[in-house]
Amino acid sequence: MGKFVLRRILQLIPVLLGVTFLVFCIISLTPGDPATSILGATATPEAIKQLNHELGYDRPLPVRYLDYIGGLLRGDFGTSYRSREPVLKEIISRFPTTLKLSVAAIILSVIIGVPLGVLSAVRQYSILDFTGMITAMFMASVPQFWLGLMCILIFSVKLGWLPFIGNSTWRHFIMPVFTLALPVAAKNLRLTRTTMLETIREDYVRTARAKGVREGVVIGKHALRNALMPIVTNVGINFGALLGGMVVIESVFGMGGVGTLTITAIRMKDVPQVTASILFLAFIYCLLMLIVDIVYAYIDPRVKARYVKD
């Protein structure tokens, strides 16, 4: 297991380098320059040229990229063009908000989606199954920004129950969490139903029932455990997608997390901030995938035996 983990960590290096190269080049080659974004269109050409020189943006792209990689090797993620602060400091200060949203949303999506998926599979073609699948298809197809705006309109503007701007109290997180969780819960429901329907038709499930094992034990201990592999993968992927896809929801609700920081940096052409933010989220996503692989070993003994052998 230790060799497997070490090998996977070493594999992160080329992946993260590739992410860094793509993001750095794309944001650098887009039209415009950071000085114009910072000073505004009314600034004089001399002032824009001077600020670009101070930021080092007037140097060739390969030189700036190699300098950036050299800084990464020394633990320096760069300095923001906009705030003149270390970019890692800004990311760390905003990451707790993004993490809270993601963790709460993924937990809520599992609590809603997995049990309903199991019930839909156990009671296939029932009213519960039909209603759950129709609701899941609807929720999976609804854009998150529209769902967030509808929540604001109903629960904040019309009813006045919840605040919709900021992140200072737990009440500020209710609508963003539900907005993020419901589409993911719909995906979990559909996947859980599909995998459970396949599992409960297996021979070992029929054998357990023939031996007189209680239905709750058959479903919970035998069928669900063996159906968890794709569900765990889906939860891990969705968790990583939530971490990296907070731009829209954080903008709608004014949460001030890493997503908002990233979109602001893109608008200001803040190359170090954009690159560091996406690199940070990519690293977290890769770690999540590693954790998913390790969880596999505790769900399926066959996977654990392979890891031990490796």
Task: List, for residues 215-266, the tens digit of each pLDDT value.
Answer: 777 777 777 777 777 888 888 888 877 877 677 788 788 777 888 888 888 8
Distance, CA of 122 to CA of 197 (rounded, Å):
8
Task: List, for residues 7-20, the tens digit of each pLDDT value.
Answer: 777 777 888 888 88
The confidence band for 39, taking pLDDT boundaries of 50, 70 and 90, is confident
What pLDDT does 300 receive?
63
Q: Name the residue with higher pLDDT: 156 or 38.
A: 156
Task: List, for residues 79-133, the tens digit of each pLDDT value.
Answer: 888 787 888 888 888 888 888 888 899 999 999 988 888 888 888 888 888 888 8
Domain locations in the chain as residue ranges? 87-309
What pLDDT does 306 receive?
59
The confidence band for 310, taking pLDDT boundaries of 50, 70 and 90, is low
What pLDDT does 304 receive?
58
Model confidence at 307: pLDDT above 60? no
Q: Could you write out the three-class secondary structure of 243-297?
A: HHCCHHHHHHHCCCCHHHHHHHHHHCCCHHHHHHHHHHHHHHHHHHHHHHHHHHH
Q: Which CATH superfamily is domain 87-309 in?
A: MetI-like (1.10.3720.10)
What pLDDT does 264 receive?
82
Distance, CA of 175 to CA of 180 (rounded, Å):
9
Task: List, for residues 168-206, the tens digit of each pLDDT value.
Answer: 788 888 888 888 888 888 888 888 888 888 888 777 777
The pair phi, psi for residue 86, each rounded to 5°, is -55, 130
The confidence band for 162, taking pLDDT boundaries of 50, 70 and 90, is confident
Q: Are 296 and 229 in contact (CB under 8 A)?
A: yes
